[in-house]
Amino acid sequence: MPRRDPSAFTSTAKRPVDFDSFWFDTLAELATVPPNATFKKDELRSDDAVDVFDVRYDSYGGMRIAGWYARPAGRNAQMPGLLIVPGYVSEPKVPKDWARRGYAVFSAAPRGKLRSNSDFDPGYPGLLTHNITDRNNYAYRGFYMDALRAFDILAALPEVDQRRVGVTGSSQGGALTLLISALRVNSVAAAAAGAPYLCSSMDAASLTHSYPYQEINEYLRINPEHDSVVREVLNYYDIHHFASAIRAPIVVNIGLQDDVCPPETGFAVFGQIGSSDKKLYPYDKCGHDAGATAGHHEVVEDFLSLQLKPVAITNDEPPIVPESAVVADEVFSKFWSEIDSQVRGLSFDDMTLEPLPMRSTEGSTTYTVSLPSIGDGRIFGYFSVPAGDGPFPGLLEAPGYASVVHISPYERRQRYAVLTLVHRGQRLADEEYAAEYPGLLTDGIENSSTYRYRDIVADVLTGLEWLTGRPEVDPGNLGIAGSESGLIAASMRSDAVKAVLMSGPLILRGANGRNSWPDYYPLEELNDFARSHPAKSGKVSETLIFFDPLSFVPEYSGEMLVACPQWDRDIASPLISRLGGSGELYLNTGRGHVDHSYIESWLGERLSE
């Protein structure tokens, strides 16, 4: 049955009678903790145009919190400030792109994020339901204050014009944007909130099976007696109740097919916003992207520029051009043959497979998996098996460049026996080695044998080896979805993999396929490294050749879909033309729901039962 008009939705969130006093007390507690902020210049991430600083400060409860601060280098005049607040699972980026536009910009990493998780690390999933039955110790009490304190620190900097300070973010960042705009009503000059999360939270959980809200559904399925207290606690934290205090000019964007933050809750919170200068951008055929790649990113840039009036950097420094390098075919083959042999020689006798009732559903059972890999690494995974009689089509989800790997989407878990792999260095597989973001892309890059992506590909290959041997999996219907490491693994096991869906960013291909490296992260890591280690530029180029997906595709004989944005067409097209099997290049439309539907249909048709 089609869902009703989301704009007609009425929130069931109820504002507690002591809502104002609760937050007055919380702000008073925060004020008792001196910020003790420190700014340490990060020479590796800085360049001639932008200074970058690693920031640490004290926040609610005395917890030490991290952030990134970037500003135009050598600028003496005051400039506008911009706070960027992060999404639920994403790590805060080094905001050099916004600094180039002329902002003094702070990228906050509230508690639980990397560099802010030594004393508080509830995990993902986990944050949304951490202490959810205790309003005073609920996870978001400190989390909200961490973001607010970041704004206060930014606004107080001498180079920042306090009359021109804005805040922006999407998803959880959209929620924090609204929160800060409400709690610093006289200080926020402009705000841009995308796909806001934490709005009418209990309603949202009833409208979706997607994480993070699915955490609420899972918690209450295990603890149904807590329903009323969970609802009561969430009412204190619901952004719906903060929004009426907002007075700054603000733009809000939502996706009308968003299954992460349902559009119903976006319409409802927008209606609550008290500003007389507000505009809603609802994007049809968009999911949680909320129109970001359909033109809304430019809307945000133009809006903030109009309100905050930055002066962009003029930088004539030429881009770094990678040195050319060549690797002999026999050297390349030997390198990967040795890794392949090590993986084939692994024993899974000491693997563990444990049921995970909290993350299981009526249609699937989820397990945690711990596997050995080559070297001293162990890898983690979520293994989900549909209800009913198997075997089922198998799917390996190859992890991308991110610290957090989420459980497979609800729909996939009902259809496939799916292994969601967490490679070494990512959360839950980081006991021996913890990856840094930024940092992973250049970790050990001076030599192909020490490069971290060697281990990552080996981990994905190990996951594939394990999955192919599972009795729940139909060996004739096995696919891989996700990042470039999955394509590499499929090419090394071409006879076992029927279909490959590569929809993640083309990082390794982009590192090899362009005349210069882009100035956005994670590829900006290569520029940072080259500036700091110019004598090693040739070594970097040589190492990257070993990991170019283009070198592997002739060996893959199955079917492949590469989904990418228009601007990556030039580096993606050769993957199809050189493919040993049959392939298709799908250029994303910028409408996330349309793109998602297409690629999932493609995968489902290939992995038919």
Per-residue pLDDT tens for 369-383?
Answer: 999 999 987 999 999
386-424 in b/e form (b: 16+ CB < 10 A) is: beeebbbbbbbbbbbbbbbbbbbbbebbbbbbbbbbbbb
Out of 130, 240, 241, 288, pick the active-site residue: 288
Out of 152, 203, 258, 528, pick the active-site residue: 258
Q: In the chain, what are the domain boundaries?
A: 25-308, 329-606
**pLDDT class for 1, splitting at 50, 70, 90?**
very low
pLDDT value at residue 609: 57
Give the pLDDT confidence of 213-248 residue by residue, as tens digits: 999 999 999 999 999 999 999 999 999 999 999 999
Instruction: Establish whether domains 25-308 and 329-606 are of one fold.
Output: yes
CATH T-level topology, domain 329-606? Rossmann fold (3.40.50)
Q: Dig out the tokens for 186 from the structure.
A: 């006289």
Look up the pTM and report it: 0.97
Q: Is 593 a catalytic residue?
A: no
Out of 116, 171, 200, 403, pick the active-site residue: 171
> Do 328 and 310 touch, CB atoms closer than 8 A?
no
Q: Is 288 a catalytic residue?
A: yes
Whole-number mean pLDDT of the chain? 96
- The C-alpha R_g of the chain, in whole angstroms, comes to 24
* Dihedral (CA of 583, 542, 446, 70) sign: negative
Give the pLDDT confidence of 64-76 residue by residue, as tens digits: 999 999 999 999 8
Give the pLDDT confidence of 458-510 residue by residue, as tens digits: 999 999 999 999 999 999 999 999 999 999 999 999 999 999 999 999 999 99
Q: Please give the C-alpha separations between residue 472 and each of 371, 390, 395, 421, 534, in angstroms, as whole numbers.
A: 17, 6, 11, 17, 51
Q: Is 171 a catalytic residue?
A: yes
> Do 177 and 144 touch, CB atoms closer than 8 A?
no
What is the rounded average pLDDT of the residues 4-25? 96
113-128 in b/e form (b: 16+ CB < 10 A) is: bbbbbeebbbebbebb
Instruction: Return the CATH superfamily for domain 25-308.
Output: Alpha/Beta hydrolase fold, catalytic domain (3.40.50.1820)
Residues in the chain: 609
